[in-house]
Amino acid sequence: MYNIILKKKRNIELSTEEIYKVIEGYTRGDIPDYQMSALLMAICFNGMSERETFDLTMAMAYSGDMLKLERIHNITADKHSTGGVGDKTSLIVAPIAAANGVSMAKMSGKGLGHTGGTIDKLDSIPGFRTELSEEEFIDCVNSCGMAIISQSGELAPADKKMYALRDVTATVDSIPLIASSIMSKKLAAGAKIIVLDVKCGSGAFMKNFEDAKKLAETMIEIGKRGDRKTYALISDMDQPLGDYVGNRLEVYEAVKILHGEGTEDLMDACLDLSAMILIGAGKAGDIESGRTIAKKTIESGEALRVFKNFIAAQGGDNTFADNPEILIKPTNKIEVKAGKTGYITSIDTEKIGLASMYLGGGRQKKEDVIDPDVGLVVHRKKGSFVNAGETLVTLFSKPLSNTEQALECISEAYKISPEMPSEDEASKKHTLAYLGVEDPGVDR
């Protein structure tokens, strides 16, 4: 291990054998954390070649179970978001794909810090089971076209151990390490089509477009080497996606979209992601036609029908799907008003996510218990004009919420200026780039 660390420190490429030796040794517990930390830091500084990054990904994937989805009848797809605020797209995109004959066998994570997790949103549905056996998981996909379960500890255990170490050694923000971490789990989860939503902006890991593009390209290359159809879009996380942040509130917003209602940015994001899956499955030729199919699937009520079946198949009470208002539970509502008149020039999205976390909708530490009912609604987005005293955000709080901290986050998050935003900024779409498919351009 000493020689491998030295080699990486001197920026010399590691061989496939060396990479497997490190990952196998670390997973078994033969390599101590201090040596692994040194290697991770050397990777942060010197990076990895495409071949090294792929080897690292495969070594991590093979450290645990490799799911075989052969028993699933249709072509399988998975989607992954690099983490955002208000991102409930999986709850909408999976039913759209399933209604079009693409099986979504999806494993998701819990939220941590300012970002939410799909599993927490699903856990807010009474009776819904996010833990199924492999048998139940596959049966569920075959019966209703989709299933979403909590990622098992047996999937890429090397990544689990390494991620915990990276978290405390300031080695998270490395493109080869992030790409291999995400893709090891995606490759182990077995789907043939992988669609990646790489977020970019103040609420994301990648704060600028160039880094987000590099991360997306690195993951596409890994996917291709791993014999999966892999596509990515880069999307804006300079403001929350949709208007609702918080677990049950986000399920509410997802159901509204499945009814054909709801905010434009969220609908747009879901149509783009669905289009990529449909292209991968050979059911659409380009983004435009994929979006049209996805839109029709919502309008016909087919996506909602699949969603209802999926909730019931995993043990949940699906009555809310026809009457989403019952998801909004009584909480204390606090309106946060604009302090001055002007244009909203930026929203620090991380702070919006943290506000929801302080209310009790997210976790500061892994062990924290979350409250499904709390969260917030964003009434005003970037570029809009507001008068002093107009409501920007409504907080949904409970007695245990840290409302003071949440209020502080919201007031720090909004920047209001007398200057009108530039045309470029004002016309910015949610999807900033399409990778792996032809870019339809901004005027679609």
Q: Which residues bind ligand URA (CB under 6 A)?
A: 82, 163, 172, 177-178, 181-182
Q: Which is catalytic among the residues 78, 87, 123, 159? A: 159
Q: In the numeric block, which tokens belong to residue 314?
A: 């995993």
For ligand URA, which is the closer residue by CB, 210 or 264? 210
- Answer yes or no: 173 catalytic: no
Q: Which is catalytic among the residues 80, 88, 380, 382? A: 80
SS3 content of the chain, % helix, strand, coil (to 5): 45, 15, 35
Closest approach of Cβ 182 to ligand URA, in Å?
5
Q: Which is catalytic among the residues 88, 161, 185, 308? A: 185
For ligand URA, which is the closer residue by CB, 172 or 433? 172
H or E element: which one contains 291?
helix 287-299
H or E element: which one contains 27?
helix 16-28
Closest approach of Cβ 249 to ligand URA, in Å?
24
- Answer yes or no: 443 catalytic: no
For ligand URA, which is the closer residue by CB, 171 or 239? 171
For ligand URA, which is the closer residue by CB, 82 or 401? 82
Q: Which residue do the tokens 């909730």 mark?
A: 311
Closest approach of Cβ 243 to ligand URA, in Å?
25
For ligand URA, which is the closer residue by CB, 152 or 181? 181
For ligand URA, which is the closer residue by CB, 59 or 386? 59
Q: Which residue do the tokens 């204390």 mark?
A: 332
- Answer yes or no: 259 catalytic: no
Q: Are 404 and 349 in contact (CB under 8 A)?
A: no
Residue type, 353: G
Closest approach of Cβ 283 to ligand URA, in Å?
28
Report the DSSP beta bridge partners of residue 235. Answer: 199, 431
Rounded CA separation 184/179 (Å): 8
Closest approach of Cβ 214 to ligand URA, in Å?
14
Half-sphere exposure (CA, 13 Å, Cβ side) for 154?
Answer: 5
| Whole-number Cα distances in Å, 11 to 45, 51, 77, 160 | 9, 14, 37, 26
Closest approach of Cβ 58 to ligand URA, in Å?
16
Quote the strand ranges of 216-331, DSSP E: 229-236, 244-245
Q: Which is catalytic among the residues 103, 180, 181, 202? A: 181
Q: Name the closest residue to ligand URA (Cβ).
A: 181
CA 372-376-382 angle, to 5 degrees, is 145
Measured between its terminal Cα atoms, the distance across the chain in Å is 53
- Answer yes or no: 159 catalytic: yes
For ligand URA, which is the closer residue by CB, 177 or 275? 177
Rounded CA separation 203/241 (Å): 10
Helix (H, G, I), strand (E, B) or coil at 397: strand
Q: Which is catalytic among the residues 8, 160, 166, 291? A: 166
- Answer yes or no: 114 catalytic: no
Of the candidates 383, 192, 384, 397, the residue with the CA atom closest to the CA atom of residue 281: 192
Closest approach of Cβ 215 to ligand URA, in Å?
9
- Residues with active-site annotation: 80, 159, 166, 181, 185
